[in-house]
Amino acid sequence: MRHVWLTLIVVASCARAPSREAQLRALSDTLVQRGVEDQAGRDQIARAVANNDTVFLKRLVATDSARSLWLRDVIRKYGWPGRALVGDSAAKAAWLILQHTQLAGFQEEMLPVLESAAQRGDIPKQDVALLIDRVRVHQGKGQLYGGSFSIKDGKLVADSIDDIAHVDERRATVGLPPMAEYARVLGEVYKVPVVWPPKR
Q: Measured between alpha carbons, how far is residue 31 from residues 134, 162, 179 in Å?
A: 22, 34, 30
In a domain, 133, yes or no: no
C-alpha 119, offset from chain centre: 18
pTM for the model stands at 0.86
SS (H, E, C) 155-186: EEEECCECCHHHHHHHHHHCCCCCHHHHHHHH
In a domain, 110, yes or no: yes
Average pLDDT estimate for 124-145: 97
Per the structure, the count of domains in the chain is 2
Structural domain containing residue 185: 140-200
Contact 143, 159 (CB under 8 A): yes
Q: Identify the pLDDT of residue 14.
A: 52
Q: Has residue 125 got a pLDDT over 90?
A: yes
Average pLDDT estimate for 22-41: 95
Shared-domain flag, residues 64 and 106: yes
Q: Has residue 28 got a pLDDT over 80?
A: yes
Distance CA 17, CA 152 (A): 52
Q: Has residue 15 got a pLDDT over 90?
A: no
Instruction: Label residue 144 by pLDDT band (50, 70, 90).
Output: very high
Q: Has residue 66 got a pLDDT over 60?
A: yes
Q: Which residue intervals of 43-178 are DSSP H helices?
A: 45-50, 54-78, 83-86, 88-99, 106-119, 125-138, 167-173
Shared-domain flag, residues 119 and 146: no
Top pLDDT among 17 and 2 is at: 17
Shared-domain flag, residues 28 and 105: yes
